[in-house]
Structure 1
Amino acid sequence: MDTVDEGNWGPAINRLTISFLALVILFLCLRIVTRVWIVHSFWWDDFTIILAVLGTTIGAGLDFVEVHYGFGKREQFLSPHDIQEFRKYTYGEWIQTFATLMWTKVSICLFLMRIPHSKALLRPLYCAVAFLLFSNAILTTIWICQCQPLHAAWDNKGTCMSRGAKEGIVLVQALISVVSDFAFATLPIVFLWRVQIDFKTKIGLWFLMCLGFITGACCLVRTVLNNQALPDNQTYDGIVNWVWRLFEVQIGIIAACIPTLRPLYKWFMERVRGHRAVGMDANIHFPLTNNKPQSWVEHVGERCEPSSEVAREGHVDNLDHPDTTRDELVRESIITTERRHNIGTAHSNYAPAENARDSALEEEMIKYGINDSP
């Protein structure tokens, strides 16, 4: 007796794919507008997130082809040719997934490198980037070479790894993703812990920069469902794992873009309120010839240092070391500038020196549309 078809989830898979892809492309466009026309600083973290979006776009194309060959239906309702073609494109989609997740995490690392100047904080990020590139290269190579010859991965005409070995590759990649997502979501808390900004702003920045916890949660669910990553009935039983994998990839890209959009939000709100808008012009700077991520900060750090004459006269007793992390956030237009609380009345004693220094800073602030009002 024929088995009753329980339904075709293919159209729903296509709709979900299109919806998330459109959302990801929207956030990428907003990020590019912010970095190019408002912040005027387009760096390697922006290039790598573009690679991630390119990867997920390719993945969406592969999903459409998989649906064409039966993804969303049970295998008993498909022809042997359709099953073989589905396996071929699924094989390629996993390669895309590895690469897209890697570029997303590398972009987050590079974004975090913009904030601290301390080598103690930068070294772990450099190591993380190297580890992500190396581990992805190893896992991708193993995945590609899972069968000999390669086409045996979808036509079974050759020798292949066991199912457990292939699930092990997926599990290792998932564990790396979970650990890195939670680690990168925690780092902003460390970076901003001692930054001299009000607590409300600090909480807001933590929330924006810690959205990686959501991605980590999606990856954790995918890891728990790892036995569904390569099921016997791949075209139907693999749908749940695919959905969580889609959430992990797409939400990860969106979470990587959201912290960069605050300058655009500020620009929009100033336009709505009728204030002088943050400049949107074509004076674009691409500081890609510099090796250090903080190279695009030239004058902001000077704001926190009194002149040598003032220091010798002892007018400022409680001046802390320059808060370079805060200055990075100012240059990104993520926060607005404000007077340091611990300097107090000492400003009146060295106002001429500060005014002389602020001329260069004021030009930079106007350029980036940063409000210096208390």
Structure 2
Amino acid sequence: MTALQAAVIGSSWTETAVGLLFYILRLVSTWTFVGRARWDLALVTIAVLFACAGQVFLQLSVNNEMGEQIMGLSEKHRAAALFYGWVFQLLSITASMSGKLAILVFLIQIRGRHEKKPWFLLVLAVLITAINVTVMGTLLGQCVPMAKLWNDSIPGSCEPGRRVNQDFSFFQGSFNALADAALASYPVHLFWKLQMRFRLKIALIVLMGMGWIASACSAVKTYQLQVLSRTSNTTYAQPPLLIWVSTEGWIVIIVGCVPPIRPLVDRLFQQLGFTSNRSSNKNPTRVPYTTSRSGRAYISAGRRPEDNSWVELTAVDRKDDMVPRSRVMVVTDIETMYEQD
């Protein structure tokens, strides 16, 4: 195994393991503190499934000598390495797109009830979907017949499809970097306007700001596309690109999982004795994050709820359904917000 192959396998499987760990923690946190799944969890689940499937094809690509000099490979291994590499990229694009949409839906859900619709987030969701789906089409359609994409010995042509795909891939990579940066920056605007403890605001902004890492990965991946377009030794030149494609996808997934698992981490630290547990109880309060007018706040009888529902920043309800003032803070727009002493 060459150094390039070892780098691809080592980095991608490490990212897969870390990403799955965060995803499992998110599942546990959702079950423990929320009690039911929502669209953001469904989307991040789709992202994880596609990322794991992509990892399998990346391993198959390396098993067929991806990372070796193309002139030293048999036609069979060359075609197989490139085929599995292309499949991996398609699956990773889908995983990254789904992960971005999961973060976006999460932001919409915790945004709460506002007078204006979140048009910026909605337009961004449409653009993310349209641009990433389109690039998959340009990737698959760059050669006629399609099999020439991974087996250059087949009669056919890849022009002008290859140039079109390269140009649009540069645009897609640049847009994804911008979208990740926007999703990382938006929470500053969102959380700063909400009534919550200053420390919690900063924590949320920092956690969601991890999207800047995904933005940097997208930028590096776009640069690697430019490097790859200048060489014919594709099996040797592709590994750095494949590493960054894998990294971008898993970073997006991890960023989408980190904020919702904060209550679980707090509970774990309390049980280990690293933090005080003045207001904890054995049965965690479950509060659904919702923007519906009929959303209800579930309160344990005789107990003040923990601040475990920080992801459910608001729970809107009718005035006649409100719980006693000693347990919530009531504001003029009939919005309940929980705060821990």
Class of the TM-score when normalised by the shorter of the 2 chains: 0.7 to 0.9
Post-superposition offset of 1:218: 1.4
Post-superposition offset of 1:178: 0.9
Matched residue, 1:271: 271
Give the stretch that moved more between structures: 213-222 or 268-277: 268-277
Post-superposition offset of 1:76: 2.5
**Quick check: 1:52–1:99 contact (8 Å CA) kept in 2?**
yes
**Quick check: 2:48–2:95 contact (8 Å CA) kept in 1?**
yes
**Quick check: 1:46–1:107 contact (8 Å CA) kept in 2?**
yes
**Quick check: 2:290–2:312 contact (8 Å CA) kept in 1?**
no
AA of the residue aligned to 2:163? G
| Residue deviations 1:321-354 (CA, integer Å, cap 9, x gap) | xxxxxxxx967334999xxxxxxxxxxxxxxxx9
| Residue deviations 1:45-98 (CA, integer Å, cap 9, x gap) | 001001111111111111111111111221222112111111111221221122
Post-superposition offset of 1:155: 1.8
**Quick check: 1:98–1:136 contact (8 Å CA) kept in 2?**
yes
- d(CA) in 2 for partners of 1:266, 1:241: 37
Asked if 1:256 is matched to 2:256, the reply is yes
Q: Following superposition of structure 1 onto structure 2, how do residues 222-237 of structure 1 map, counting pairs within 5 Å?
A: 222-230=221-229, 231-237=231-237
- Tell which structure's C-alpha radius of gyration is larger: 1
Post-superposition offset of 1:298: 2.5
| Residue deviations 1:259-310 (CA, integer Å, cap 9, x gap) | 11111012213323384755568x999x8xxxx952397345xxxxxxxxxx
Q: Following superposition of structure 1 onto structure 2, how do residues 128-207 of structure 1 map, counting pairs within 5 Å?
A: 128-156=124-152, 157=154, 158-162=156-160, 163-207=162-206
AA of the residue aligned to 2:157? T
- d(CA) in 2 for partners of 1:65, 1:191: 43
Post-superposition offset of 1:166: 2.6
AA of the residue aligned to 1:161? E
AA of the residue aligned to 2:169? V
Gap change, CA 1:164 and 1:185, over 3 Å in 2 = same
Matched residue, 2:323: 358
Matched residue, 1:75: 70
- d(CA) in 2 for partners of 1:334, 1:259: 8
Alignment RMSD (CA, Å): 3.3
Secondary structure of 2:65 counterpart: coil
| Residue deviations 1:138-183 (CA, integer Å, cap 9, x gap) | 2212221222222121123222234433321321220220111011
Which one of 112, 115, 120 corresponds to residue 116 of structure 2?
A: 120
**Quick check: 1:55–1:99 contact (8 Å CA) kept in 2?**
yes
Gap change, CA 1:101 and 1:222, over 3 Å in 2 = same
Secondary structure of 1:86 counterpart: helix
Secondary structure of 1:151 counterpart: helix
Gap change, CA 1:206 and 1:373, over 3 Å in 2 = closer
Gap change, CA 1:297 and 1:266, over 3 Å in 2 = farther
Percent identity (aligned): 22
Give the stretch that moved more between structures: 15-24 or 28-37: 15-24
Matched residue, 1:209: 208
| Residue deviations 1:13-45 (CA, integer Å, cap 9, x gap) | 222221111111110000011011222242110
**Quick check: 2:135–2:165 contact (8 Å CA) kept in 1?**
no
Matched residue, 1:246: 246
**Quick check: 1:336–1:372 contact (8 Å CA) kept in 2?**
no
Post-superposition offset of 1:217: 1.1
Q: Following superposition of structure 1 onto structure 2, how do residues 1-40 of structure 1 map, counting pairs within 5 Å?
A: 7-40=2-35
- d(CA) in 2 for partners of 1:103, 1:144: 20
- d(CA) in 2 for partners of 1:253, 1:133: 16
**Quick check: 1:208–1:258 contact (8 Å CA) kept in 2?**
yes
Which one of 291, 295, 298 corresponds to residue 292 of structure 2?
A: 295
AA of the residue aligned to 1:252? V
Matched residue, 1:61: 56
- d(CA) in 1 for partners of 2:144, 2:34: 50
- d(CA) in 2 for partners of 1:372, 1:293: 18
Secondary structure of 2:196 counterpart: coil
Gap change, CA 1:209 and 1:102, over 3 Å in 2 = same
Gap change, CA 1:119 and 1:144, over 3 Å in 2 = farther
- d(CA) in 1 for partners of 2:115, 2:137: 33
Matched residue, 2:332: none
- d(CA) in 2 for partners of 1:254, 1:190: 22
- d(CA) in 2 for partners of 1:30, 1:83: 39
Gap change, CA 1:240 and 1:144, over 3 Å in 2 = same
Which one of 304, 310, 331 corresponds to residue 333 of structure 1?
A: 310
Matched residue, 2:105: 110
Which one of 77, 80, 84 corresponds to residue 89 of structure 1?
A: 84
Say how many residue pairs are matched: 314
